[in-house]
Chains A and B, each alone.
Chain A
Amino acid sequence: MTASGTFGYGREMAEMVDLNRLGALVVKTLQLEARPGNPSPRICETPAGMINSIGLPGAGIEHFLAEDLPFLRRYETPVILSVAGCRVEEYEALVRRADECEGIAAIELNISCPNVKQGGLAFSVDPAATAGVVSACRAATRKPLIAKLTPNVTSIAAIARAAEDAGADAIAAINTILAMAINVRTRRPRIATNVGGLSGPAIRPVAVRMVWEIASAVRIPVIGMGGIMNAEDALEFILAGATAVAVGTATFRDPAAALGVIDGLEAFLREQGIARIRELVGAVEVWR
């Protein structure tokens, strides 16, 4: 899968990547209205990763449904909508709108964006708020609902359980880790909002640990992500309990990074004589 916010709406990537080879395409997070996003600078490079504070710019869900979804429907790959709002009612309205549409396989609730002023992160740092938004959306659709969680919490397992109990069909983890970088000469933070979200290989061990904790705490599937660059990285998440994985920041460096992960996984299974990748899900042999 692609991680939301790293693959545009698919159209931008279609000439560089065979979209039909993807397991699923998760589009950049949509909101009810158009948003300009955050001021510049929005990104900075860090060791083995980057910090971003993009602020969810976009033309809004109606624009996507009219202009981008028809294009994506020409492909066989399931399209997963990612949605975000400031209030529960906005999530509910977005989900209800998506529920009416053909060609949307599932809906991911982005309740974990660190870079918008209201909403976003506020939901998935708290079990009760997570349950509130998930249950409201559950009542608004029969499509599969994915809760995307933030790592900026003490116990991600408790949040995941709250999402499961409120009716989520799957958990996606992790979103970016709150981070800051400072230019020591200008004494200015390197991004305009001062803090942003860290992604890339630098966060992978944190993400693997959290996916393992979530998978141990819930019965619904876990979609693992956070710094996956290649098949071996993806296998860590799968062994930790993820039934699917998403490639995000790696796409910025190599547009076809997700396809490289798919090829690498197939090669690994052949080499190991493993018939189905499902055999590896959660198969980590922990030290006792």
Chain B
Amino acid sequence: MGDRVAACAQCWNLPVVANRSPGGRYRELVLRAPELAARMRPGQFVNVRCAEGLDPFLRRPFSVYRMDRAGGTFSLLYDVVGRGTGMMARWEPGDAADVLAPLGNWFAVPDGGGPLALVAGGVGVVPLVALAEAVAPTGRPLHALLGARTADLLLGEADFRGLGATVDVSTDDGSRDHHGPVHSLLQALLDRGDRFDVVYACGPRAMMAAVSRVAEGAGLPCFVSMEAGMACGFGVCMGCAWRVRADEVKYRLVCTDGPIFDAREILWDMA
């Protein structure tokens, strides 16, 4: 897990460089922010104000997707699911976005040169692309395992290939490659003798729970990027609490204790 970060975030008014669709209903929002692009770490998130007015009232949290330090930009990949993201989808180059950033901790990468497994479910691919982007220049082997319900919902494959990662795909309906959930793909790779130093996972709760069980069974450290509804993003509303494994009832905050957690900490079957 990354270091705990003090709330050093601030509100930025960031010019929109592009707001394009890489396919399906997903969109990539590219923002000009040289200082943030230089400072943010993979796994961190930002909180975007979608509405000019009061509705929707709260900001929307998004993991950082790509960071272009040389170009002074970073991007978010988002699924247009509701009114907030619907408003974002209409932003055009030249518009400005009110973004609270940087927020949360980041992926820690232990020393050593062994391969890293990046296991993504659907749009959970976003922070793992950021991680791959940061690790790729070191030459460390990266193996991306991408899961989706069907082949046309797959995301991030081109990103990982472009970063030199090995990519394996699983689909729930068997429309491409490994037929089954992505944790069974991880298990299959381990069974055939693949070795990893660490497993990183992001996706739906049940998917991360299953991946963390596979990793635990193989004795591998596993870090997950958690998601929860939140009002603030900087540790004061305390809305984004996740129950953790402990003798007593104990919660940690996704926004400031996370979003990256050691999977062994999380109590998966309870909110």
Contact = CB atoms under 8 A, between A and B. Distances in A.
B7 A36 contact: no
A54 B240 CA distance: 10
A275 interface: no
Contacts of B55: 47-48
Nearest to B228: A40
B250 to A, nearest CB: 6
Nearest to A36: B249
Contacts of A192: 271
B9 interface: yes
A50 B10 CA distance: 22
A74 B59 CA distance: 31
A8 B231 CA distance: 13
A45 to B, nearest CB: 5
Interface in B216-259: 228-232, 234-243, 248-251, 256
Contacts of A279: none
Contacts of B236: 6-8, 12-13, 28, 251-252
Nearest to A2: B236
Interface stretch (A62-70, A86-94, A253-261): A253-261
A15 B271 contact: no
Contacts of A52: 231, 237, 239
The contact size tier of chain B is 35 or more
Judged by DSSP, the binding face of A is: loop
B234 A37 contact: no
B241 A37 contact: yes
Given A37-B238, A57-B241, A254-B11, A45 B232 contact: no
A15 B8 contact: yes
B117 to A, nearest CB: 28
B237 A54 contact: yes
Interface residues of A, number: 36
Interface in B2-30: 6-11
A253 B59 contact: yes
A49 B6 CA distance: 27
A16 B236 CA distance: 13
Contact of A40 (B7, B11, B58, B242): B242
B255 to A, nearest CB: 10
A254 B57 CA distance: 11
B141 to A, nearest CB: 37
A41 B271 contact: yes
B58 A253 contact: yes
Interface in B149-197: none
Nearest to A255: B234
Contacts of B58: 45, 50, 252-253
Contacts of A13: 7, 234, 236
Interface in A181-199: 192
Interface string A12-54: 1101100000000000100000001101111111111110101
B243 A39 contact: yes
B232 to A, nearest CB: 4
A15 B6 contact: yes
A45 B271 contact: no
B215 interface: no
Contacts of B242: 40
B56 interface: yes
A254 B54 CA distance: 12
A252 B10 contact: no
A110 to B, nearest CB: 15
A119 interface: no
A167 to B, nearest CB: 31
B144 interface: no
Contacts of B271: 39-41, 192
A224 interface: no
A77 B243 CA distance: 35
Contacts of A254: 11
Contacts of A103: none
11 contacts: A13-B236, A16-B234, A36-B248, A36-B251, A41-B271, A47-B57, A48-B57, A52-B231, A192-B271, A201-B54, A252-B236
Given A12-B235, A45-B57, 14 more contacts: A6-B237, A12-B236, A15-B6, A37-B238, A37-B241, A37-B251, A41-B239, A42-B238, A43-B237, A49-B57, A54-B237, A57-B238, A252-B236, A253-B57
